[in-house]
Chains A and B, each alone.
Chain A
Amino acid sequence: MLPKHLRRLEAESIEIMRDVVAEFERPVMLYSIGKDSSVMLHIAIKAFYPAKLPFPLLHIDTTWKFREMISFRDATAKRLGLDLIVHINKEGIARGINPIDSGSALHTQVMKTDALKQALDLHGFDAAFGGARRDEERSRAKERILSFRSAGHVWDPRNQRPELWSLFNTRIRQGETMRVFAMSNWTELDVWEYIMLEKIPVVPLYFAKRRPTLRRNGATIMIDDERLPLNCGETPEMRMIRFRTLGCYPLSGAIESDAMAIEDIVAEMQTATVSERQGRLIDVDEAASMEKKKREGYF
């Protein structure tokens, strides 16, 4: 039996998902393979049981995800019999966009934000579930659970629909879409406690292990394949590390940790002194940078 606060959060997320499925024509769940996506997927399966998931999953593949993420994704889709769509921005590939030469900002814009918009338009999805939480970052703290996007996927933070009680305004016109953050009110700790109690599989990269790494710009980067060029003076080193958030491997900072089981992670979380976004190299430019990216359509 879950503790009260987790039961409440789970029920709240289920209620949101059911509402969206009842009201929208073509919902989709954005699946990033991370811990939040794993929880979101687990809750969705509960929400619609005994029916199968009434929507497909969409993964935006930047081609720079950790290899373990991709194998976990494919194994999960197979294990649960999911309808999984993988989308890659071919145009970006053709232009040779990558996180190392193009820089993190351009890579993220082209391979994540643009790719996501392409995929939503291509399939005509009118609502997209995302696993973002309000505690992650301060521009998220003000975002609605049902977050309206005008045609072109633009978010206008100053003109959001008021959201009272659990009465969601699901009405949109042709070309407009909704992003749905069913886990808005979860915290990072809630997510880990829930994973522990519900025994939800997650990518092994969340657990500490000796892995080949580099120190770069103050961050610890894991060498996941041969595409990461060594700068002058850099030497690969084996370190006991794990990740708090996962993304493109050259942009994900690891933390040194001995937490090899979920119980250890929860214990580590309770004494953590840095936020989970600290490891994300795409956020560091300026505190408000996430708001800028979100307005342009980033999840």
Chain B
Amino acid sequence: MFVKPATEAVPARTKDQLRFITCGSVDDGKSTLIGRLLHDSKMIYHDQLMVLERDSIKHGSAGNDIDFALLVDGLEAEREQGITIDVAYRFFTTPRRSFMVADTPGHEQYTRNMATGASHAQLAIILIDARKGVMVQTRRHSFICSLLGIRHVVLAVNKIDLVAYNKECFDRITRDYLAFAVGLGFTSIVPIPISARYGDNVVDRSAHANWYEGPCLLEHLETIDIPSGTAGQAFRFPVQWVNRPNPDFRGYAGTVASGRISAGDEIVVAASGRTTRIKRIVTHDGDLVGAEAGYAVTITLEDEIDIGRGDILSRPDDRPKVADQFAAYVIWMDEEPLAPGRNYVLRIGSQTIIGSITVIRHRIDVNTCEHLAAGMLSLNEIAFCDVATAMPAVFDPYDLNRKTGSFIFIDRYTNRTVGAGMIAFPLRRDNNIVRQALSVDRRERAALKNQKPCVIWFTGLSGAGKTTIANLVDQKLCGMSRHTMLLDGDTLRHGLNADLGFSETDRVENIRRVGEVAKLMADSGLIVICSFISPSRAERDRVRGLVGKEEFIEVFVDTPIEECVRRDPKGLYSKVKSGQIKNFTGIDSCYEAPTTPEIHLRTMEQTLEHSAEAVVDVLMARINS
């Protein structure tokens, strides 16, 4: 478990960068340690030191000594409160390596900040107060680091001066920690006794703890070998931007996320299953023969195939997962709790997809690693969840690839980043089903019918007039020699959806199936007219995402509930009244009206005929454009 550091000096050409995080609570001396590292490695300039001396008198807590913590606690509020409340990034360079330190707060209410810092780090320094030993917070910090994929840990037993440089104390803490960290998957754990305040074993060896034979902290950071590893893995190239300066050049710009590739190699577009070969690897400094993880390049391909931002290129024999459901660890970062079923914008690599958490399998207590039941997730809580996306996502398990296995949640209304996720595995049994590109595509099918496909989605209360108007639209289109199909709730509930009732989950499944059927029909070139109450905005939006917004027309048939009750064409409202039906939309179940439908039909103000004409007009304008 222990790593013995190499000692040979590193030639300047291969000088690299190590990014690490420091974890500790307020009193563990974390900021003091970073300040000490910067100071002792001569990264503090004269003028900064003068400001520091002045600030130490004003805000400091180190008596007459310089308070190194003030160097790193940047924002005014933090200096006043004496705590670190955000993530700060520090930089220092030694002849052997350059370093980026993510300095994050350690309190439980700052779990999100720590996770943010850890997402950028290859190594973690976990601080322990020698007087207190392994504490609840030590476990929390270690768990979060492990979850975010950090595999190398330095156990910095700080304030060793305050236990009189006692070896037994250090040994006991080391033993306790190793026993607890067994299940966390760390590759190396290096315990070092230090005093951040006095500098023992930080940059220079301690004169007091001469029983300690290992490296001092900086020496270890300079020499630890952390293979980036990603170059040896499967090739992944997420396309960021299509570079098309003129009709003769079409390149795909991106950074190789993992693996390596050479000109001439065969590749596949994961989502569509299309294959071709790499033609050129273009850079401003000239074409490359090959590119590996970390290279920002522009790739051109032998064949013109449809590729856009969000696509991932891989080798045909080692593809990423493609699925619209997966299990993931989720860290919630917003004051407004996560609600299962609610739609968020997910950013997975360069893909942007609407998605939601369908089930919280369990919440994880960050202090004890215990699994707990949970119906929702609050700020700073971590859970293992099932996630569903409106379109298939392309990804790898986070364990295998941090670049293609991570994602964030963005609130669709506030645009805040509200959560972060690490994908564990795809759900469903189609793990081994590789998407096959069909040789006749949807464009050709539509061209045969001499039309553009479209899905017209009527939504509204029962009795609003959806199906009546949909029928009129269908007739008009048939009269115009258009190929159409009408799907309505009652018809489908007699066949495909005969197994579904009216509970919340069954309603969701009902609309999901209808959406899939409508999509298949649109793919075959048809104009699909759908008439469904579809009370949930989220479900309608999911169908919109599935079909694609260019081919989706949402029609809100807006009839006041009183009028629907008065019409009651199927006698359903009277059954509700007499208690024979429960969960009826508009009565004891909520209808979420569309906020921005493509067409808003107010049936009290216009005739059915006019309504149908309005729909046909919008459709014609759309498919003739």
Tell me the A residues contacting B by CB distance below 8 Å.
Answer: 1, 3-5, 7-11, 14-15, 18-19, 21-22, 45-52, 134-135, 138-139, 141-142, 157-158, 160-169, 171-173, 184-185, 187, 189-190, 272-275, 277-278, 287-288, 291
Docked Cα-Cα span, A48 to B296, in Å, equals 11
- Our pick among A9, A142, A274 for the contact of B88 (Cβ within 8 Å) is A142
Q: Which residues from B are CB-within-8-Å of A287? A: 51, 55
Docked Cα-Cα span, A138 to B90, in Å, equals 9
Q: Which residues from A are CB-within-8-Å of B15? A: 3-5
Contact in complex: A19, B240 (CB < 8 Å): yes
Binary CB contact string for chain B from 327 to 340 against chain A (1 if under 8 A, 0 otherwise): 00000010000000
**A3-B14, A142-B74 known; A165-B47 Cβ under 8 A:** no
Tell which of A19, A162, A173, A272 has the most Cβ of chain B within 10 Å: A162
Contact in complex: A165, B403 (CB < 8 Å): yes
Q: Which residues from A are CB-within-8-Å of B253? A: 18, 47-48
Known: A3-B13, A134-B89, A172-B415. 11 other contacts (CB 8 A): A14-B296, A45-B284, A50-B243, A139-B74, A162-B417, A165-B402, A169-B347, A169-B408, A169-B417, A274-B46, A288-B76
Docked Cα-Cα span, A178 to B299, in Å, equals 29
Report the minimum CB–CB distance from A46 to chain B (whole Å). Answer: 4
Tell which of A168, A187, A277 has the most Cβ of chain B within 10 Å: A187
Q: Which residues from B are CB-within-8-Å of A169? A: 347, 408, 410, 415-417
Docked Cα-Cα span, A158 to B85, in Å, equals 9
B113 within 8 A of A: yes
Contact in complex: A11, B284 (CB < 8 Å): no
28 contacts between A and B (CB under 8 A): A4-B14, A5-B17, A7-B294, A15-B240, A15-B255, A15-B296, A18-B296, A19-B241, A22-B350, A46-B284, A47-B253, A48-B243, A50-B245, A50-B282, A141-B89, A142-B75, A142-B88, A165-B406, A172-B415, A185-B100, A187-B91, A273-B46, A274-B46, A274-B47, A277-B47, A278-B45, A278-B46, A287-B55
Binary CB contact string for chain B from 368 to 402 against chain A (1 if under 8 A, 0 otherwise): 00000000000000000000000000000000001
Q: Which residues from B are CB-within-8-Å of A9? A: 17
B473 within 8 A of A: no
Contact in complex: B282, A141 (CB < 8 Å): no
Q: Which residues from A are CB-within-8-Å of B403? A: 165-166
Interface pick from B115-123, B191-199, B446-454, B569-577:
B115-123
- Our pick among A15, A134, A142, A187 for the contact of B93 (Cβ within 8 Å) is A187
B254 within 8 A of A: yes
Q: Which residues from A are CB-within-8-Å of B275? A: none
Contact in complex: B76, A18 (CB < 8 Å): no
Contact in complex: B74, A141 (CB < 8 Å): yes
Contact in complex: B244, A51 (CB < 8 Å): yes
Docked Cα-Cα span, A277 to B296, in Å, equals 32
Contact in complex: A273, B75 (CB < 8 Å): no
Contact in complex: A51, B245 (CB < 8 Å): yes
Report the minimum CB–CB distance from A24 to chain B (whole Å). Answer: 12
Contact in complex: B254, A18 (CB < 8 Å): yes
Contact in complex: B45, A273 (CB < 8 Å): yes
Within B403-441, the residues touching A (CB, 8 Å) are 403, 406-408, 410, 415-417, 420
Task: State which size class the interface on B falls in.
Answer: 35 or more
Contact in complex: A134, B17 (CB < 8 Å): no
Name A288's closest neighbour in chain B (CB-CB): B76
Report the minimum CB–CB distance from B45 to chain A (whole Å). Answer: 4
Docked Cα-Cα span, A22 to B245, in Å, equals 14
Docked Cα-Cα span, A99 to B73, in Å, equals 32
- Our pick among B97, B243, B349 for the contact of A51 (Cβ within 8 Å) is B243
Contact in complex: B255, A164 (CB < 8 Å): no
Q: Which residues from A are CB-within-8-Å of B48? A: 275
B462 within 8 A of A: no
Which 5 residue pairs spanning A and B have beta carbons closest together? A138-B74, A51-B245, A14-B296, A275-B45, A49-B284
Docked Cα-Cα span, A121 to B240, in Å, equals 28
Q: Which residues from B are CB-within-8-Å of A1? A: 13
B283 within 8 A of A: yes
Q: Which residues from A are CB-within-8-Å of B417? A: 161-164, 169
Q: Which residues from B are CB-within-8-Å of A3? A: 12-16
Docked Cα-Cα span, A160 to B112, in Å, equals 12
Contact in complex: A5, B86 (CB < 8 Å): no
**A19-B350, A164-B115 known; A190-B47 Cβ under 8 A:** no
Docked Cα-Cα span, A114 to B285, in Å, equals 39
Docked Cα-Cα span, A185 to B19, in Å, equals 11
**A7-B294, A8-B294, A142-B74 known; A171-B283 Cβ under 8 A:** no
Contact in complex: A141, B45 (CB < 8 Å): no
Q: Which residues from B are CB-within-8-Å of A160? A: 86
Contact in complex: A139, B294 (CB < 8 Å): no
Tell me the B residues contacting A by CB distance below 8 Å.
Answer: 12-17, 45-48, 51, 55, 71-72, 74-77, 79, 85-91, 93, 97-98, 100, 112-113, 115-116, 119-120, 240-241, 243-245, 249, 251, 253-255, 282-285, 294-296, 298, 309, 333, 345, 347, 349-350, 402-403, 406-408, 410, 415-417, 420
Q: Which residues from A are CB-within-8-Å of B402? A: 165
Docked Cα-Cα span, A205 to B93, in Å, equals 26
Q: Which residues from B are CB-within-8-Å of A48? A: 243, 253
Docked Cα-Cα span, A171 to B249, in Å, equals 30
Name A164's closest neighbour in chain B (CB-CB): B119
- Our pick among B47, B55, B90, B112 for the contact of A275 (Cβ within 8 Å) is B47
Q: Which residues from B are CB-within-8-Å of A135? A: 90-91
Docked Cα-Cα span, A168 to B352, in Å, equals 11
Report the minimum CB–CB distance from B399 to chain A (whole Å). Answer: 15
Contact in complex: B240, A272 (CB < 8 Å): no
Docked Cα-Cα span, A121 to B315, in Å, equals 46
- Our pick among B79, B98, B241, B244 for the contact of A21 (Cβ within 8 Å) is B241
Name A166's closest neighbour in chain B (CB-CB): B403
Report the minimum CB–CB distance from A23 to chain B (whole Å). Answer: 8
Q: Which residues from A are CB-within-8-Å of B282? A: 49-50
Contact in complex: B98, A187 (CB < 8 Å): yes
Q: Which residues from B are CB-within-8-Å of A21? A: 241
Report the minimum CB–CB distance from A234 to chain B (whole Å). Answer: 24
Contact in complex: A22, B309 (CB < 8 Å): yes
Report the minimum CB–CB distance from B543 to chain A (whole Å). Answer: 22
Docked Cα-Cα span, A273 to B48, in Å, equals 10
Docked Cα-Cα span, A185 to B121, in Å, equals 13
Contact in complex: B98, A158 (CB < 8 Å): no
- Our pick among B75, B119, B296 for the contact of A165 (Cβ within 8 Å) is B119
- Our pick among A11, A141, A164, A190 for the contact of B295 (Cβ within 8 Å) is A11
Contact in complex: B415, A162 (CB < 8 Å): no
Docked Cα-Cα span, A46 to B115, in Å, equals 32
Contact in complex: A164, B296 (CB < 8 Å): no
Contact in complex: B87, A142 (CB < 8 Å): yes
Q: Which residues from B are CB-within-8-Å of A291? A: 74-76
Contact in complex: A164, B406 (CB < 8 Å): yes
Q: Which residues from B are CB-within-8-Å of A275? A: 45, 47-48
- Our pick among A15, A142, A171 for the contact of B86 (Cβ within 8 Å) is A142
Contact in complex: A162, B116 (CB < 8 Å): yes
Name A13's closest neighbour in chain B (CB-CB): B296
Contact in complex: A164, B243 (CB < 8 Å): no
Docked Cα-Cα span, A275 to B15, in Å, equals 23
- Our pick among A18, A139, A189 for the contact of B75 (Cβ within 8 Å) is A139
Contact in complex: B116, A163 (CB < 8 Å): yes
Q: Which residues from A are CB-within-8-Å of B345? A: 171
Docked Cα-Cα span, A187 to B16, in Å, equals 14
- Our pick among A165, A171, A189, A272 for the contact of B45 (Cβ within 8 Å) is A272
Q: Which residues from A are CB-within-8-Å of B17? A: 4-5, 8-9
Name A42's closest neighbour in chain B (CB-CB): B284
Report the minimum CB–CB distance from A268 to chain B (whole Å). Answer: 13
Q: Which residues from B are CB-within-8-Å of A14? A: 255, 296
Q: Which residues from A are CB-within-8-Å of B97? A: 5
**A51-B244, A171-B345, A275-B48 known; A189-B93 Cβ under 8 A:** yes
- Our pick among B89, B119, B243, B296 for the contact of A185 (Cβ within 8 Å) is B89
**A50-B243, A275-B47 known; A167-B408 Cβ under 8 A:** yes
